[in-house]
Structures are given as C-alpha cells and as structure tokens.
Amino acid sequence: MRPYRLASLALLLAPAALAQAPLPLKHSPQRTVPAITAGDLMTRLYILTDDSLEGREAGTIGNFKGTEYIAREAKRMGLVPAGDSGTYFQTIPLKTRTFDTTSTFAVGGAALAPFADYLPLTREAFDNPATSIVYGGEVLDTAHLIAPEQASAKLVVLTVTGGFASFASPRGIIRLRALRAAPRIRGAAALALVALDSLPPPVLGFLRRPQAFLDDTPPGQERPVPMLLIGRAATTKMFGGPLEQLAVGAPGTTAALSVRYVVEPVSYPARNVVAILPGRDPKLRVEYVAIGAHNDHIGFNHAPVDHDSIRIWNHIVRPEGADDAAKRATPELQARVDSALAAFRARHAAGATADRPDSISNGADDDGTPPRRRGYLARVTSPTIPPCRGTRSWRSSIWTWWAAGVRTMRPDAPRTPCRCTEDPTTSSWSARVVSRPSSAT
C-alpha cells in the first residue's frame, strides 16, 4: 500500500483509537514525529483546543494564537503562502455591533421597552420619525399577506402562529436563522413579527450579545427591510385590541423608531490561513482542489454547564449536531443518556457524583478535529514531511482554514463554479474547486 494511503488510513483511525479510553483534561505536549499516529494527533489537538485559547472565537486573542499555530505548521510542511502580501494570512473586515440601549421605539407616543416589548432582529440601524402601522397577516401564510402597495412606507405587523417553535424545519435547522428568513414585503418601512414572547431564554440571551459581522457591504447596495420582534403587549398599543379580530390591511396607530448600534473593530485581526501545495504534473498543476475547515469556534460563555452530561446528551440525542437542533430526547434516548453518564462518572472516582462545570467551547465535537484533520491531510501530501515526501497530487491544492465562516480564494485566481459537498467526518463541509488561469484552454 502506498505511503499516502497508509497515512490516510491512520488519519481516519486515529480519533477512534483515542476514543478507546477516557482522555485527560490536560495533556503535556510530546515531541511530534513524522508518522501520523494517535499520540501525535493527541498532542496537536490538545494544543489547538487548549482552554487558554478560550474557544478561539474570531477576533479574539485565542483565535489569533490559533491561526499563528496553524500558519507555522503550514510553513513547516513546505506549503506556499497564499494570503495577503506574501503571508499565510488573509485578514477579513470583521467588526462587532452592539445594540445601543438609547434607541427608541414609540407607539402612539408611548415608549416601548427594548428586550421586553421589542427586539431588533436584522441588527441594522434605521430611523423613521413617523410611520403608519398596518396589520399584514400571518407570516407563514404567504398566499394572503398584505399587498406591497398597502404596505408601502409602513411598519407591517405579522403574526407568527405557534411562535418561535413554528420555524423548526424537518432537519431541525436553527430556528432563529429561519425566523430571519421570513418573507420580506417590498417597500415596507419595517416588519414586526409577533414572536418575542415565545423566545427561549438562551435565544434571547444570544440576541443581547454583541454580534460579529463582515463590514464589506458594497456602496449603494440595497439594504434589507428592517425586521423586529415584538410582544403581544406592544400589539395591543398598536391596534387597541386582539390581532385575531383584524383583517389584513387593518390600520393601527403611528410609530417613531430610532434603532442604533455601536460598531467597533474586533480586538484582534480575524484571519483565514491560506496555503497552496503545487501539483507535480506540469499540465494539471494549473488546476486546483480546495480543501478547508474552520479555524475558529464559538468562544465561551459566563454560565458554566456540566461538560460531561452535555457532551453525552448531544452524542446520543443530537448526533447530527445543528441538523438535529430541534430534536428532543425520547424516554428511551434519555435512559441511554442517564446510563452513559453514570458509567462515565463511575470511571472517575474523584468526581463520581459531581459535575464538571465547563464554560469553554473548545471546538467541533469539543475537540477541534476538523481543522486538525485538514492539517494532517496536508501532511499526507507534503513535499517535505516524511514518510509521504514526493507523493503529492498531480493537481495543485489550496488549503484554507477560515474564520467566521468566510470561505474565500485569492481575487486573482480565476475559477469555474465550485461544487460543495458535506463532509460526514467533521460536521463541516468542503468545496472542490477546479481553477485555471484565463489563458488556459
């Protein structure tokens, strides 16, 4: 069997080998070796996912350190820098925006309270000193929504039957994302969804947090219609009675809105790490295969949870991660969770009945395997690292460890459309991109 095939097999088997016995919370780094082994993988994973990196959220010191480590590894393997100005780094324009609590929203002259009566959902600043309010119908009943001419320049209120829970999809896609994708009504001044009262506390807490965003909107691009969440108490002030008694197009009172955000650059540069491994075939090396994974994660929170019970519960009840976000435990699944947790704690005599609180999200599956696996795949085909030296692909490859979900290529690399496929081994996805210079035939 060829060396790179043996290495690929070791890469796939290493996580399984590590899973045979309980792993320590801390691991002293060991000297790495050219061969790809479970022990070598363990050393590298514990470096990239150490608590000192605080979950590697993009724009933080922990993510900055993590990208420095990945770039050093890429250089050591002999990969060619493909970032900005001859470096391995591609800095992205990441900033944070925080809701300004001096924002105002008044209905008929009466002030509404942020987070209690209303909450901006699209997180875009906007001002409208005087706009009429109109009832637009049920958000999911798109066949009977208010007509654009009736909604023009008005604040359109839409009911959400079933509240926040009604936006669960068959695959359990995160409901908040679906809520933001609710139908827009062209020409409306803003949309207000009556769903605030149904938000679970964790979602409400998430919306209170500063949000990272890419400040790269082209000048002149049309802004989306602003969207807010409102509670039932606010609708009573708007219409003077229950919404169920209103017909689509029914007028309400007037509103004055001034929603503002504090925008600041992130504390540390958010960066993609980009490198190229040139192919060995003179003709095919102008074609590229793109391989990528996140270099960041979601950081940490200020409310520690029981690390062991959360991890075991997710593995049994939500094995597909975000795709299982809406899934709940059946009595049978809950019994499996309880049994697995009891067995786990029995193996840890010192904490057999105690929780192990943890507030840091260290990586996908809490171990950072997607970026580390990409690093090992690069080693498999590296021109400098034995035992795979000289076995690199005929085509060139672009290796990207991206931040904040920003998957980009160098702007000077012409490319044909890419085909993106889900990677079942990492709860992530990879893209295969075939790219040629414009002069290629």
Q: Provide the CATH number for the domain around residue 189.
A: 3.50.30.30
Q: Map residue 64 onto helix, strand or coil.
A: helix
pLDDT at 268: 93
Which of 236, 241, 159 is CA-nearest to residue 195? 159
Burial letters 314-349, b for 16+ CB under 10 A, else e: bebbbeeeebebbeeeeeeeeebbeebbeebbeeee
Residues 75 and 115 in one domain: no
At 121, give phi and psi (nearest 5°).
Answer: -105, -35
pLDDT cut 90: percent of the chain above it = 30
Residues 405 and 380 in one domain: yes
On whether the CB atoms of residues 146 and 152 are closer than 8 A, the answer is: no
pLDDT at 251: 95
Residues 57 and 122 in one domain: no
Q: Residue 157 — very low, low, confident or very high, per pLDDT cuts 50/70/90?
A: very high
Q: Note whether residue 20 is domain-resident.
A: yes
pLDDT digits 0-9 by tens, 373-421: 555 555 545 555 444 444 567 888 888 888 876 555 444 443 433 333 3
DSSP letter at 251 equals: E
Q: Note whether residue 236 is domain-resident.
A: yes
Q: Note whether residue 327 is domain-resident.
A: no
Q: Residue 428 — very low, low, confident or very high, per pLDDT cuts 50/70/90?
A: very low
Q: Which of 259, 291, 315 is the last residue of a domain?
A: 259
Residues 281 and 202 in one domain: no
Q: Note whether residue 191 is domain-resident.
A: yes
Q: Note whether residue 337 is domain-resident.
A: no
Domain count, the chain: 2
Q: Note whether residue 338 is domain-resident.
A: no
Q: How far apart are CA 49 and CA 194, in angstroms?
A: 40
pLDDT digits 0-9 by tens, 202-257: 778 878 888 888 887 777 777 788 999 999 999 999 999 888 889 999 999 999 99
Q: Which of 228, 259, 290 is the last residue of a domain?
A: 259
Structure tokens at 411: 């702007």
Residues 80 and 105 in one domain: no
Average pLDDT over residues 23-46: 79
Q: Note whether residue 324 is domain-resident.
A: no
pLDDT of residue 185 exceeding 50, the answer is: yes
Residues 137 and 243 in one domain: yes
Report for 6-20, 41-55, 132-146, 345-359: range of highest mean pLDDT: 132-146
Q: How far apart are CA 323 and CA 312, in angstroms?
A: 17
pLDDT digits 0-9 by tens, 258-317: 999 999 999 999 999 999 999 888 888 888 888 888 888 878 777 776 666 777 878 888
Q: Note whether residue 342 is domain-resident.
A: no
Residues 116 and 156 in one domain: yes
Residues 89 and 209 in one domain: no
Domain range enclosing 424: 3-93+269-299+361-432
Residues 67 and 117 in one domain: no
Which strand (E) or helix (H) includes residue 98? strand 94-99
Residues 124 and 199 in one domain: yes
Q: Which of 209, 235, 259 is the last residue of a domain?
A: 259
Burial letters 169-184, b for 16+ CB under 10 A, else e: eeebbbbbeebeebee
For the chain, counts of helices (H) and of strands (E): 10, 20
Residues 136 and 254 in one domain: yes
Residues 117 and 89 in one domain: no
